Amino acid sequence: MKTREKILVLDDESDWLEVCREFLGRLPGQPDIRTVSSGMTALSLLDAEPFQLLLCDLKMPRMDGLQVLSIVRRRFPELRTVALTGFSDEDFRSRAYALGVDMFWLKSDMQQNPQRFVECLESLLGQEDDSGFRDVYSKNLLDVIQMELALRNSSVLHITSGRHVAQVWIKDGQLVDVRAEGADGDAAFWRLLKWKSGTFESLPAEPGHLQTITKSVDALVLESAQAVKKAESPTPAQEEEETAFVTRLTAVAYEGAEFVVTIPDKKGDTAKGWGIKDVDRLAAWARQAEKSAQRLGEKFNAGSLTHIAGHNLERHLLVMRQNDRTFVIGWPPGSDPHRLFEQSLNLVDTWAS
């Protein structure tokens, strides 16, 4: 029996989360739909539970959708992804596709044609079995080629993708030659597999065309997949760093923090931020705050500084030290101020470990 599919929707606007929930509720099989409003929560949830599909808004404060998708691409390569945006921006679209998203939808198109949106998602979820070749699997293109082969056709496929043009020669259901991006034969076929979108035209066969490809399409796809996997497989150090990164994000999400900035004591080392964009100015302020507090503490013989807390209507802020660095942690406005120090300490301990 097929298990219920799990879909995660990430959008900072609660109204849109509701809209998506309603649309996704129309999918057959009643998938389990989860919604989150921040990138960090989404990543920690993906790390904790298996999902089949992620719908990700691109324009969000703090960690934006492109950042989330880039982590998802490396961390969860099997996950299907759909980028959503309210802005018709070609740059956004191309950057999202470059990150390997399966679909790109404008929110206005979603609203105008919800049935089509749902059908596309249904189709996407149905493609789960081919995940092994996903790194090179240009679905439409390979589908077309394989269909031509299966039907034992003879034709020349003329393919256009942006400014690139390719030709695929097929004779009696056999792949004979490919020319793309200045290459021919196997190399051209591998380049073609990386094309994300394009248009196809089937032209009459050219029986006398010279055969340069002798392998089957499946063998070529497999070789290409292996080459890509080899090139992309992270080193042990990268894997360790990535694991530590997700562990930290999980700690942040578990405690409910909005952002974390770490400021090393060493002057040459730069401050790093998770969930916040303007790290340097906040780091400079935190350094100033620590120095000011220490000066005051000395003047009053007040003992050692445990932490500095700040707040406004939008958030709580906590500055504290652990080992050789200072942490600035942002908390949502509804947090219990009496528990923030302990929560920050838990978070910082996880970070340091």
297 binds other proteins (CB under 8 A): yes
Q: Which stretch binds other proteins (CB under 8 A): 12-20, 152-160, 203-211, 276-284?
A: 276-284
Among 218, 295, 332, 352, binds other proteins (CB under 8 A): 295
317 binds other proteins (CB under 8 A): yes
Give the whole-angstrom CA distance, residue 349 versus residue 353.
6
- Tell me whether residue 284 or residue 352 sits nearer to other proteins (CB atom): 284
300 binds other proteins (CB under 8 A): yes
- Tell me whether residue 184 or residue 290 sits nearer to other proteins (CB atom): 290
Give the whole-angstrom CA distance, residue 329 versus residue 343.
10
Could you tell me the CA-to-CA distances from 180 to 94, 157, 177, 184 in Å, in that order? Answer: 20, 12, 10, 6
Residue that is written with structure tokens 């996407």 in the block = 124
Minimum distance of other proteins from residue 299's CB (angstroms): 6
| Amino acid code (one letter) for 226 | Q
- Tell me whether residue 239 or residue 349 sits nearer to other proteins (CB atom): 349
Minimum distance of other proteins from residue 297's CB (angstroms): 5
Residue that is written with structure tokens 């065309």 in the block = 209
In three-state secondary structure terms, 240 is: helix
Give the whole-angstrom CA distance, residue 83 versus residue 87.
12
Cβ contact 254:260 at 8 Å? no
Minimum distance of other proteins from residue 320's CB (angstroms): 9
6 binds other proteins (CB under 8 A): no
Minimum distance of other proteins from residue 291's CB (angstroms): 9
312 binds other proteins (CB under 8 A): yes
In three-state secondary structure terms, 315 is: coil
Among 230, 266, 267, 299, binds other proteins (CB under 8 A): 299
- Tell me whether residue 51 or residue 259 sits nearer to other proteins (CB atom): 259
203 binds other proteins (CB under 8 A): no
243 binds other proteins (CB under 8 A): no
Among 269, 284, 324, 333, binds other proteins (CB under 8 A): 284
- Consecutive H or E run containing 330: strand 325-331
Edge-first strand listing for the sheet containing 103-106: 32-36, 6-10, 53-57, 80-85, 103-106
324 binds other proteins (CB under 8 A): no
313 binds other proteins (CB under 8 A): yes
254 binds other proteins (CB under 8 A): no
Sequence-distant (6+) residues with CB within 8 A of 267 are: none
DSSP state of 149: H
| Amino acid code (one letter) for 318 | L
Minimum distance of other proteins from residue 187's CB (angstroms): 50
Among 83, 225, 345, 347, binds other proteins (CB under 8 A): 345
Residues found in the chain: 353
Cβ contact 123:139 at 8 Å? no
304 binds other proteins (CB under 8 A): yes
Give the residues lining the site for other proteins (CB under 8 A). Answer: 278, 281-282, 284-285, 288-289, 292-293, 295-297, 299-313, 317, 338, 341-342, 345
